[in-house]
Amino acid sequence: MAQLWQGRFSKAVDSRVNDFNSSIRFDSRMFRQDINGSMAHATMLGEQGIISPEDQEAILDGLQGILTDLQEGELSIDPEAEDIHTFIEQTLTARIGDAGKRLHTGRSRNDQVALDIRLTLRDESEKILGQILDLAQSLCRQAEANLESVMPGYTHLQRAQPVTFGHQLMAYVWMLLRDAGRIQDALKRMMAYCPLGSGALAGTTYPLDRQLTASLLGFGEPCPNSLDGVSDRDFCIELCAAFATCMMHLSRLSEEIILWCSWEFRFVELDDAFTTGSSIMPQKKNPDVTELIRGKTGRVYGDLTTLLTMMKGISLAYDKDMQEDKEAMWDAIDTLSLCLTTLTPLIDTMKALPQNMRAAAAGGFINATDCADYLTKKGMPFRDAYKLTGSLVAYCIDHHTTLEALPLETYRQHSPLFEEDVYQAIDLLNCCEGRTSYGGPSKAGVQGQLQKARQEIETIRNGLEGEADIPPQNETEEEDHP
């Protein structure tokens, strides 16, 4: 397949350069977006009288036919093509003749690829958002089932204060909802300005209606500066940063699951369908899914570093370095999507073991703060209560017992302020229920979190459904040649 820019050159490009330069192996992913962008461009060219109504109709019909054939497998993308833009334009010309050659009027591959990658990232990000919400809902279901499953809360990975398993899981729901918000914010900025019509770098002499193409494709308005329109990849960096942050949250959750399902913790048991065994140790049940998520987090960090490094030293406007944006973005998208869609059913099928959680909570003296608070409410200064409770903990350790099992007589030997009601104050579930401050682990508090989180999830889902009428798209490439 011939290059679109071959007229300037007197000899063929070395085959090794062609292979090195080609992007078809990864920008073919954007064929839907490229065709939709071209249809909007052709519509505008016809409306402006830049091409005839007959050419406009032929181009639109031809592009629709190519899209249908590609989607139905009747047409295959030529792996020898330089890029997806070349393949589609030359296929169109082969089908409809000279009218196909007029499609590129007033357009460069530079603004074409800047458009295509935005449209692709919009579509892919909306899928990612749906997957994030699915995982958040799965965590909500587990949290609701464990509103009274008392477990140790940790600082420094040391048992600290009592919480419930539901409260612990809801922390990750809020992380995921922030991830969704970051992606939404990035999409708003990305879709605020349409680069189509920026040309190679300096616009065009044709009387384009850039507002029309922007509107047809779901953008707010045209990019105000043609140089920035073709050279901006901030949206890639911003989205990839949001994806990397989401992966970090998945990795933290994965680390906790790995700990929870170990014999040392035994807080949860993973379903057999989401674990693996050992080739030599028959007793093993390995949390490979969560371990892989931890490992794959580094890939997405690397994709973000690739984008930042790619952009840090290039001059305006388009440079071939920017062809590297797609492989990094596709890898970040595919990696995050795979992790989300695998982790969600793992969470759904995960079995909590509340008895083990409570035993760990009782053995960790995590109700010591509540014991000190009990004395403080009886009139003892907190620092004195803190010291006395520390002495009680030391006594329990020496005598292999817990605060809950300590006789009242022993309590009173340390302070006459202790009464029978101390056992109610240090009951682990009561400790959680007593923490009624907003955001705390009480049953009512976690139920309030669930209600609020589910409202946010529904709002985001409704917003995604509202975008369904915008034409979908998929991938593209870049070039310096008008």
Give tens-digit pLDDT for 329-380.
Answer: 999 999 999 999 999 999 999 999 999 999 999 888 889 999 999 999 999 9
Cα–Cα distance between 422 and 404 in angstroms, integer? 9
CA geometry: angle 134, 138, 143, nearest 5 deg: 145
Question: Quick one: pLDDT at residue 373?
Answer: 93
Q: Taking a C-beta distance cutoff of 8 angstroms, is the pair 395, 413 a contact?
A: no
Q: What mean pLDDT, rounded, does the chain reach? A: 91
Q: How far apart are CA 366 and CA 426, in angstroms?
A: 9
Say how far apart CA 289 and CA 271 lie, in whole Å: 11
pLDDT at 223 > cutoff 80: yes
Q: Which of the four pLDDT bands, split at 50, 70 and 90, describes residue 466?
A: confident
**CA 416 to each of CA 188, 378, 411: distance values in angstroms, whole numbers, following the listed order:** 63, 10, 8
| 193-194 and 221-222 strand pairing | parallel
59: helix, strand or coil: helix
Residue 303: is its pLDDT beyond 70? yes
DSSP letter, residue 205: S
Map residue 39 onto helix, strand or coil: helix
Task: Report the distance separating Cα 133 and Cα 126, nearest Å.
Answer: 11
Residue 22 has pLDDT above 80, yes or no: no
pLDDT: which is higher, 278 or 128: 128
Per-residue model confidence as pLDDT tens digits over 105-128: 999 999 999 999 999 999 999 999
The model's confidence at residue 479, banded by pLDDT at 50, 70 and 90, is: very low
DSSP state of 472: P
Residue with tokens 């292979």: 19
Top-level CATH class of 368-426? mainly alpha
Q: Is-catalytic flag, 41?
A: no
Q: Averaged over 192-204, what is the pLDDT?
A: 96
| Closest by Cα among 132, 125, 182 to 340 | 132
Backbone angles phi, psi at 155, to 5 degrees: -130, 140
Instruction: Please name the residue that has the structure tokens 């639109």.
Output: 60
φ, ψ of residue 149 to 5 degrees: the values are: -85, 95
CA distance 478 to 382: 66
Q: What integer is the mean pLDDT of 249-264?
A: 96
List alpha helices for 350-442, DSSP H. Answer: 354-363, 368-377, 382-398, 408-414, 422-426, 428-434
- CB neighbourhood size of 464 (10 A): 16
What pLDDT is stored for residue 9 in this prediction?
Answer: 52
pLDDT bin (cut points 50, 70, 90) of residue 280 is confident
Please report, for the chain, the start and end positions of each structural domain, with discontinuous segments joined by +: 6-105, 121-145+169-206+218-350+453-466, 368-426
Fold of 121-145+169-206+218-350+453-466: Fumarase C; Chain A, domain 2 (1.20.200)
Question: By percentage, how much of the chain surpasses pLDDT 90?
Answer: 81
Say which amino acid occupies 346. Answer: L
CA–CA dist 294, 85 (Å, integer): 37
Which parts of 181-280 are beta strand (E)? 193-194, 221-222, 268-269
Instruction: Specify which of 24-28, 95-99, 270-274 reaches the highest per-range mean pLDDT.
Output: 95-99
d(C-alpha 171, C-alpha 290), whole Å = 18
Q: Known catalytic residue: 437? A: no
What is 129-140 written as a DSSP string?
HHHHHHHHHHHH
**442: which 2 tokens?**
């009480």
Of all residues in the chain, the percent with pLDDT exceeding 70 is 91
Q: Higher confidence at residue 343 or residue 404?
A: 343
pLDDT single digits (tens) 156-196? 999 988 999 999 999 999 999 999 999 999 999 999 999 99
pLDDT at 276: 80
Q: Which of 52, 262, 278, 391 is catalytic?
A: 278
AA identity, residue 120: T
Region 315-340: mean pLDDT is 94
pLDDT computed for residue 120 by the predictor: 97
Q: Angle, nearest 10°, between helix axes 53-72 and 31-47?
A: 170
pTM, 2 dp: 0.89
Residue for token pair 């587990």? 142
Among the listed residues 10, 15, 76, 156, the single catalytic one is 156
Phi and psi at 359, nearest 5°, equal -60, -40
**Cα end-to-end span (Å), the chain:** 18
Q: What is the pLDDT of residue 8?
A: 54
Residue 482: the pLDDT is 32
The residue assigned the tokens 């449209």 is 119
Say what the pLDDT of residue 364 is. Answer: 80
Q: CATH number of the domain at 6-105, please?
A: 1.10.275.10
Q: How confident is the model at residue 2 (pLDDT cuts 50, 70, 90)?
A: low
